[in-house]
Amino acid sequence: MHEAPLLWSALLAYVVAGSAAIFALALERRAERWILALLALGLALHGAALAARWIAVGHGPFITLFEILSSNIWSLTLVFTLAYWRVPAVRPAAAFVMPVLFILMGWLLVAHPGEGHFPPTYRTLWLYVHVGLGKVFLGTVLVAVGLSGLILARLAAQGLEELAFRFMAIGFVFETLMLVSGAVWAQDAWGRYWAWDPLETWAFLTWLSLAAFLHARVAFRLGPRASAVMIVGVFVLAFLTFFGVPFISTAPHKGAI
């Protein structure tokens, strides 16, 4: 009862913030303070909604499609908001980042908010470590995608390609740690570090694609537009890994992200 109004109020704040960012970029207006305030308000309301659900069902938002979408919207928005706050050059990228979050919000609206079973293998600290690292990884890549959108739309200021590369490098570190922590958790839960189940395989392919981008960017001195296209490609693969495979796989990993 307490979760729903908080959640929908948060989504409204996100939508207004994203719409303001798009109009500000299109009309060349400055609205950074308002956008940041709306994002912060949305995060506070959304965090309260997640806490209310956690208390009501007795476990974190890790099981159902509704929970996973909601928690990922919150974490992605959190990472982007921190970047928006601390790195002024990132701010115009909100016009490209928020539409991605709008897609997840639309998906959330049609997802069933029912409860799910919390399996015994999830009752471990490794769940929070593994999932937390994954969320930071995807968030940093999303920031790089927003910067890439500016580059591809020819709205880029000098240095944005280098900034996008740095966010991708940070993402690579967090994804590597995510895979390592997942392997440790898998050993505790299922008695093996790696089994090439669908989600493990896709996560490794995402890691390889990110490593390939970083290598190509350093070794072949890619231009800004080529780098931007590769960044978008890595994000698409990561997006499918996080929001596609867990919900079609019948392996034990299903729903673990």
250 — pLDDT class (breaks 50, 70, 90): low
Percent of the chain exceeding pLDDT 90 equals 80
> Which domain range does residue 129 map to?
119-247
Residue 212 lies in a domain: yes
Residue 257 per-residue DSSP state: -
Residue 126 lies in a domain: yes
The domain tally of the chain equals 1
7, 22 Cβ separation under 8 angstroms: no
- For 133, phi and psi rounded to 5 degrees? -65, -40
Burial 238-247 (b: 16+ CB within 10 A, else e): bbebbbebbe
d(CA 19, CA 41): 15
Query: Residue 211's pLDDT is what?
Result: 98
Digit-coded pLDDT (tens) for 25-41:
999 899 999 999 999 99
Residue 24 lies in a domain: no
Residue 196 lies in a domain: yes
Q: What is the 3-state secondary structure (H, E, C) of 150-170?
A: HHHCCCCCCCHHHHHHHHHHH
How far is C-alpha 168 from the geometric centre of its chain's CA atoms? 13
- Of 77-86, 109-118, 198-207, 246-255, which gets the smallest average pLDDT? 246-255
Residue 35 lies in a domain: no
Residue 19 lies in a domain: no
Residue 252 lies in a domain: no
CA distances to 90, 102, 104, 118, 243 from 14, in Å: 17, 8, 12, 29, 20
Residue 50 lies in a domain: no
Q: What is the CA radius of gyration of the chain?
A: 18
Q: Considering the chain, what is the average pLDDT of its residues?
A: 93
Query: Residue 256's pLDDT is what?
Result: 45
